[in-house]
Amino acid sequence: MKKILFILVTLALISWAPPKANDFKTIFETSDGKQSASYYEGIAWWKNFSNAFGEVHMQEYGMTDAGFPLHTIVLSKDGQQLSEIKESRKTIILINNAIHPGEPDGVDASMLLFRDILLAKKQLLDSCILVCIPYYNIGGALNRNGYSRANQNGPEEYGFRGNAQNLDLNRDFVKCDSRNAESFAKLLQLIDPDVYIETHVSNGADYQYNITYLSTQPDKLGGAMGDHLRFKMIPSLNAKMRTKGNEMVPYVNHWGGPLKDTYATFYDSPRYSSGLTTLHNIFGFITETHMLKPFDIRVKATYDYLLSSIEYAHEQSTEIQRTRNSQKQAVAAADSFPIDWEVEPYDIIPLNFNGYEYGYKKSEVTGVERLYYDRNKPITKTIFYKHVMLATKHSGKPTAYILRRGFTEVEDRLRWNGVQMQELTQDSTIQVISSRILSYETKKEPYEKHYLHYNTTTVADTISWTFRKGDYLIPMGTNKDRFILETLDPEGPDSYFNWNFFDAILQQKEHYSAYVFEDRAAKLLEKDSGLKADFELMRQSKDSITPQEQLSWIYKNSPHYEKEYNRLPVFKVY
């Protein structure tokens, strides 16, 4: 009897033995670093992993264009769900993988990292909660091949950059044309992460570094967060990566030839994730492993960066949260915000850049000179980095905006990003600042499903406008103010106007027939001496003017001219 009892106890202990790393080998490991987990393989691995550990919660959140749900993995000390972590008072880190599924390094690095943290570094969860999106661009992940990344060294197979709509999701964050971006925006509001990390593989020049980084641009982030990022967070991450044997430099934002002496910081407008996180007061980072390094080395570099970021968040958890809270209060209290930027050309810092000698040789294909890098000749040279951006345009913050009802694409995007809107309960005549579109240019070729406007200018005037019941009042004075202003001010480069969501106002709907309007125009001039005087001044100011132009001027300055034409349906209230 004792022997039977001993056997039963032994079997029970074996069955309840804690999981080990070998229990959760990844495709990356079993292929000796040559393969990346497919979407189905990865989701199956994460399900098994979450079932084995109480600290892991796998949850679907929203849909994607591919018809598959967006999966999230929450790793926390107490096994919390997405809806619970915002109130945890811990530092929340959101990791987003496979936005470009042909660049899958983060997919495999995240599996290894989450497993290793649970098995050997669980103390990091004392102050941090990790959230991972294992596959953001599911449509692209399912479009698997081994050829579309022509310049990339492995893995054997990978996904495709375009999603199910053939959108580049790394240009979709503010415009939200995809269901992926809609789900992402809602997730951002639900968990309000302190740090956001998105994993990529670079294109461009050849150099010795396995990984480079692109952060939320510190000057654009501004305030307490901008200072913390530039003077504390980035230096600490660089030091940690050097210790791990993966020294890095800022993303090499250089194209069209060899890197000779300078390169500049990247302008991350809100179409990019790190630009959107700026508007939501989140520290944002993009990792860029080097395309020509072997896949296993790139995965290790991504792993090291993710771990370094988590270590920093663990060490500085209180300060990160305090800095963000201070920034949110400053945003709510600000009276204006910058909405456009340019690189400061003269504020530069030297980098000891580890590259390769380059040269030119005759192409075996075209017969002309071509660039090549000689990896047998590593060099270290001084490269000057233009690290500062200057605001070139500011916009004043009103007490509130009013958005005319009917522009549902704008209404939806504001809601997805946490903007509170109040419907007017009755028709109301209110004195407002109204903006008309004065000029704009439009791209000649389609760009991510749009013909993007740019160089937009407006003219504003104070008017009394009768708003209808159901129009939306958008109060300001919250930590969403910067997002609201940068999307609703048409002169912002990634404004909703520039992304074509207000294009209906750019088309005149009513016109006139000259033979009918001639008589009415004469009566208008006869009855309105001021109009007539302005008309005569206009004619005198021009060397020549056609009859059609004269009638058009009278029409546009008469009550017959539609007041909605070129008038932005967004009004400022002071």
DSSP output for 253-283: ---SS---SEEE-----TTSHHHHHHHTT-E
Query: CA 337 to CA 332: how far, in whole Å?
Result: 11
Which residue bears the tokens 């999307």? 487
Which residue bears the tokens 């102050």? 127
Q: Across-strand partners of 450?
A: 447
**pLDDT value at residue 256:** 78
Query: CA 133 to CA 97: how far, in whole Å?
Result: 6
Q: 551: buried, middle or exposed (CB in 10 Å: 19+, 13-18, 0-12)?
A: middle
Tell me what the mean pLDDT of segment 173-179 comes to: 99
**pLDDT value at residue 23:** 86
- Are 176 and 413 in contact by the 8 Å Cβ rule? The answer is yes
Query: CA 186 to CA 68: how far, in whole Å?
Result: 17
**pLDDT value at residue 3:** 54
**pLDDT value at residue 420:** 98
Strands 91-96 and 195-201, how do they pair? Answer: parallel
More confident residue, 258 or 165: 165
Query: CA 295 to CA 35: how far, in whole Å?
Result: 8
46's tokens: 């994460």
Evaluate if residue 13 carries a pLDDT over 50: no
Predicted TM-score (pTM) above 0.85:
yes
**pLDDT value at residue 4:** 56
Closest CA to 274 of 378, 354, 179, 389: 389
Strands 211-215 and 283-289, how do they pair? Answer: antiparallel
Average of per-residue pLDDT values in the chain: 96
- List Cα–Cα distances, 421 to 112, 432, 465, in angstroms: 43, 17, 19
C-alpha 82: how far from its chain's center?
21
Evaluate if residue 353 carries a pLDDT over 90: yes
- DSSP three-state, residue 180: helix
**pLDDT value at residue 14:** 46
Q: How confident is the model at residue 21 (pLDDT cuts 50, 70, 90)?
A: low
Strand order in the sheet with 56-63: 56-63, 69-75, 128-133, 91-96, 195-201, 283-289, 211-215, 248-250
408's tokens: 């549902």
- Are 395 and 492 in contact by the 8 Å Cβ rule? The answer is yes
Any residues with CB less than 8 A from the CB of 13 and at least 6 apart, and which?
none
According to DSSP, residue 233 is labeled: I
C-alpha 182: how far from its chain's center?
12
Strands 283-289 and 195-201, how do they pair? Answer: parallel
Tell me what the mean pLDDT of segment 383-387 comes to: 98
pLDDT in tens, 486-536: 999 999 999 999 999 999 999 999 999 999 999 999 999 999 999 999 999
First to last CA, the chain: 86
Q: Kindly state the helix (H) or strand (E) to which residue 91 belongs, with its residue range.
A: strand 91-96
Evaluate if residue 76 carries a pLDDT over 70: yes
- Are 484 and 401 in contact by the 8 Å Cβ rule? The answer is yes
Evaluate if residue 22 carries a pLDDT over 90: no
pLDDT in tens, 206-253: 999 999 999 999 999 999 999 999 999 999 999 999 999 999 999 999
- Are 70 and 64 in contact by the 8 Å Cβ rule? The answer is yes
CA geometry: angle at 288 spanning 363 and 148, to 5°? 50
Q: 88: buried, middle or exposed (CB in 10 Å: 19+, 13-18, 0-12)?
A: middle
- Are 157 and 35 in contact by the 8 Å Cβ rule? The answer is yes
Q: What DSSP letter does each residue of 41-73 carry, written as one string?
A: HHHHHHHHHHHH-TTEEEEEEEE-TTSSEEEEE
Tell me what the mean pLDDT of segment 170-185 comes to: 99
Q: Which domains does the chain have, with CATH numbers?
A: 2-254+263-332 (3.40.630.10), 348-386 (no CATH), 398-574 (no CATH)
Evaluate if residue 110 carries a pLDDT over 70: yes
Question: Is the backbone of residue 56 left (phi > 0), alpha (psi -120 to 50) or beta?
Answer: beta
Tell me what the mean pLDDT of segment 402-421 comes to: 99
Q: 39: buried, middle or exposed (CB in 10 Å: 19+, 13-18, 0-12)?
A: buried
Strands 283-289 and 369-386, how do they pair? Answer: unpaired
